[in-house]
Chains A and B, each alone.
Chain A
Amino acid sequence: NAGVTQTPKFRVLKTGQSMTLLCAQDMNHEYMYWYRQDPGMGLRLIHYSVGEGTTAKGEVPDGYNVSRLKKQNFLLGLESAAPSQTSVYFCASSYPPPEQYFGPGTRLTVT
């Protein structure tokens, strides 16, 4: 099992550009999550999904959209990137809670 994988690992965007981060899990987990991690802060939940075709807002959803068309994939989109979205993004999955399994992260820089 690969566990949770994320694509890409690194990305540099210019302000206003768009991109999609892909998360894939092969553990047949129902729940998936997108977090961002900023220096000196804990993880903050952006969006989450409790099953295929469902999404919900987390703590910091503004500027992001998500889709869960397939159970194993959870996509995070930035429609118009801003410097404040420079961060490390982590995807996680679980079934059922309480344990969450994390991907290796995507380091995004917006200039």
Chain B
Amino acid sequence: GEDVEQSLFLSVREGDSSVINCTYTDSSSTYLYWYKQEPGAGLQLLTYIFSNMDMKQDQRLTVLLNKKDKHLSLRIADTQTGDSAIYFCAERESNYQLIWGAGTKLIIKP
């Protein structure tokens, strides 16, 4: 079946950039997503990118998509303590189903 993989942890210093990586297997994916989950909360959609795009930027967030390598990344500029969370990558398999990565826990060091 289709699969989405992410590293489980990323540690960065406050003020640095964070880059969270994700690989996926379904080359026919139309949308790829980044969700954020803060402790004890539900998932919040951060951004998504359509498969015909290479890059999408939204304030401190930059999403890069390399379709050839099936690689998606999320860059957070000037990382703050409020960015501490688990970040999930997901690909859209159908109208109704997303395939989810296991999540990357972003740890911010002062």
Contacts and interface: CB of A to CB of B under 8 A. Distances in A.
B42 A50 contact: no
Contacts of B92: 97-98
Nearest to A31: B96
A108 to B, nearest CB: 15
A40 B86 CA distance: 11
Most B CB contacts (10 A, CB to CB) among A4, A96, A101 go to A101
Given A102-B42, A103-B42, 11 more contacts: A31-B96, A40-B102, A41-B102, A42-B99, A43-B88, A59-B97, A90-B42, A97-B92, A98-B33, A100-B45, A105-B41
Interface in B1-41: 4, 8, 30-31, 33, 35, 40-41
Contact of A45 (B31, B43, B97, B101): B97
Nearest to A56: B96
Contacts of A62: none
B96 A105 contact: no
B103 A58 contact: no
Nearest to A103: B42
Contact of A102 (B44, B97, B102): B44
Contacts of A31: 95-96
Contacts, number: 58
A48 interface: yes
Given A56-B96, A97-B96, A98-B33, A42 B45 contact: no
26 contacts: A4-B42, A40-B102, A41-B102, A42-B99, A43-B43, A43-B88, A44-B100, A45-B98, A56-B96, A58-B97, A90-B42, A90-B43, A92-B43, A97-B92, A97-B96, A98-B33, A98-B48, A99-B45, A100-B45, A100-B98, A101-B45, A102-B35, A102-B42, A103-B42, A104-B42, A105-B41
A92 B100 CA distance: 14
Contacts of B35: 102
